[in-house]
């Protein structure tokens, strides 16, 4: 029991968005205190945490001061600077470790690490020079996707290359920074698998999630995914291998393309809870955030059993363009649950909350989740 961080202890969170907020809610429900560190004041996480440390991530003395107040540190987004994780790690465990951050912060490192380990990934080529770019396009053909190696999410830092003559202009739009060129994949769906691994190597995976995107932003998630059982089994096997390869302690999400011949290709990794896993808060016995608490604290992982088929829809800032959404109408939908993130400013494309709907079958859950959102 000496390695277990028991309830009553204080947990540290690097990053202060909605993922940290839901982590803090789960942790406090289990009897933990939570301290958060980020450059933002009165943040979504800070509104729930016991103490909010406000400083830039590069202010390492402030990071160490924060780390001295907690028993373990985790993070809610993978773009926390490596030096921040290292500074906190001088004082307390950081889970997942800084080595996981280092790999997942850079698409080229991530894809190369997985590829070398025999994990199926989307065909790719690193781009550092103009010669690299043209060679990648010649090898992988067009159309393709040019992505910045670091920092991109929700479609940011990406350009479609329709023909070889477009390639240089697209890279110019990305500032000619290190990039990753990927072949277009003919897929029939996008899926994600959220799993957790404990300090002692215990592993548990949620059922596979099926995802629908709009403008590169996750729009709808369904669980269980409408895929063959073999695809579900393959997803869990691949995820388990990735956790072992990276020695992950904590929660990580593997995003997949599901191809037309029922194969899975890893698109990218998120070493933290994931937007697609938000439905676990209402639909599963142990949500992904409680699982994160359990994993980093050395507790046994919780059951991932699902109560009912569920669908989640994101609420973006676009919904506020005509004024405050009609929350009363949404709450009339008896099988839908509203989650808002406490963000002060609604912007187009910004994730402000989500709605999860539980029904007896997945098609009805998806339909009614969309109807509930329309009522706003």
Supply the pLDDT for residue 1.
40
Whether residue 138 sits in one domain with residue 206: no
Q: Over its length of 376 residues, how does the chain's per-residue pLDDT go in tens digits?
A: 458 999 999 999 999 999 999 999 999 999 999 999 999 999 999 999 999 999 999 999 999 999 999 999 999 988 899 899 999 999 999 999 989 999 999 999 999 999 999 999 999 999 999 999 999 999 999 999 999 998 766 667 889 999 999 999 999 999 999 999 998 888 999 999 999 999 999 999 999 999 999 988 999 999 999 999 999 999 999 999 999 999 999 999 999 999 999 999 999 999 999 999 999 999 999 999 999 999 999 999 999 999 999 999 999 999 999 899 999 999 999 999 999 999 999 999 999 999 999 999 999 999 999 999 999 9
Query: How far is it, in rounded angstroms, from Cα 52 to Cα 170?
Result: 40
Whether residue 367 sits in one domain with residue 229: yes
**Positive or negative, the Cα torsion across 29, 33, 37, 40?**
positive
Whether residue 327 sits in one domain with residue 286: yes
Residue 242 lies in a domain: yes
Q: What is the CATH number of the domain that holds 144?
A: 3.30.1490.20
Q: Are the C-beta atoms of 320 and 341 separated by less than 8 Å?
A: no
Reported residue count of the chain is 376
Residue 4 lies in a domain: no
Whether residue 200 sits in one domain with residue 327: yes
Supply the pLDDT for residue 152.
65
Residue 110 lies in a domain: no
DSSP character string of 64-131: HHHHTT-SEEEESSTTS-HHHHHHHHTTS-BSS-HHHHHHHTSHHHHHHHHHHTT--B--EEEESSHH
Q: Are the C-beta atoms of 191 and 258 separated by less than 8 Å?
A: yes
Residue 336 lies in a domain: yes
Query: How far is it, in rounded angstroms, from Cα 279 to Cα 274?
Result: 10
Residue among 262, 195, 234, 221 at smallest CA distance from 357: 221
Residue 1 lies in a domain: no
Q: What is the CATH number of the domain that holds 16?
A: 3.40.50.20
Helix (H) or strand (E) holding 315: strand 310-316
Whether residue 217 sits in one domain with residue 169: no
Supply the pLDDT for residue 153.
66
Whether residue 138 sits in one domain with residue 47: no
**Positive or negative, the Cα torsion across 85, 87, 92, 93?**
positive
Residue 5 lies in a domain: no
Expressed as residue numbers, the domain containing 21 is: 10-94
Residue 236 lies in a domain: yes
Residue 115 lies in a domain: no
Domain end among 149, 164, 183: 183
The domain tally of the chain equals 3
């Amino acid at each position: 029991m000496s390695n277990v961080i028991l309830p009553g202890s204080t947990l540290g969170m690097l990053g202060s968005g909605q993922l940290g907020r839901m982590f803090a809610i789960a942790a406090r429900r289990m009897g933990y205190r939570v301290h958060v560190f980020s450059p933002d004041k009165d943040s979504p996480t800070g509104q729930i945490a016991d103490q909010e440390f406000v400083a830039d991530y590069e202010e390492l003395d402030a990071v160490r001061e924060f780390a001295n107040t907690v028993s373990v540190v985790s993070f809610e987004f993978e773009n926390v600077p490596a030096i921040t994780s290292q500074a906190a790690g001088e004082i307390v465990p950081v889970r997942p470790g800084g080595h996981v951050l280092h790999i997942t912060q850079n698409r080229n490192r991530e894809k190369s690490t997985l590829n070398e380990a025999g994990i199926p990934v989307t065909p790719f080529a690193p781009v550092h020079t103009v010669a690299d770019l043209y060679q990648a396009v010649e090898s992988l053909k067009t159309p393709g996707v040019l992505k910045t190696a670091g920092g991109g999410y929700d479609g940011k830092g990406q350009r479609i290359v329709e023909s070889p003559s477009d390639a240089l202009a697209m890279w110019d739009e990305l500032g000619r920074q290190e990039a990753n060129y990927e072949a277009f994949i003919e897929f029939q769906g996008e899926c994600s698998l959220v799993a957790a691994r404990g300090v002692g190597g215990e592993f548990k995976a949620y059922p596979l999630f099926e995802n629908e995107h709009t403008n590169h932003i996750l729009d709808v998630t369904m669980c269980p995914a409408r895929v063959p059982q073999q695809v579900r089994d393959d997803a869990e096997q691949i995820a388990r291998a990735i956790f072992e390869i990276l020695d992950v302690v904590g929660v990580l999400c593997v995003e997949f393309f599901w191809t037309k011949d029922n194969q899975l290709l890893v698109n990218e990794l998120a070493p933290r809870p994931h937007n697609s896993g938000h439905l676990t808060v209402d639909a599963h016995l142990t949500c992904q955030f409680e699982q994160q608490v359990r994993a980093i604290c050395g507790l046994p992982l919780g059951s991932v059993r699902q109560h009912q088929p569920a669908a989640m829809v994101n609420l973006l800032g676009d919904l506020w363009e005509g004024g405050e959404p009609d929350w009363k109408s949404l709450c009339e939908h008896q099988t839908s649950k509203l989650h808002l993130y406490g963000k002060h400013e609604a912007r187009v494309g910004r994730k402000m909350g989500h709605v999860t709907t539980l029904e007896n079958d997945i098609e009805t859950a998806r339909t009614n989740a969309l109807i509930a959102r329309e009522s706003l």
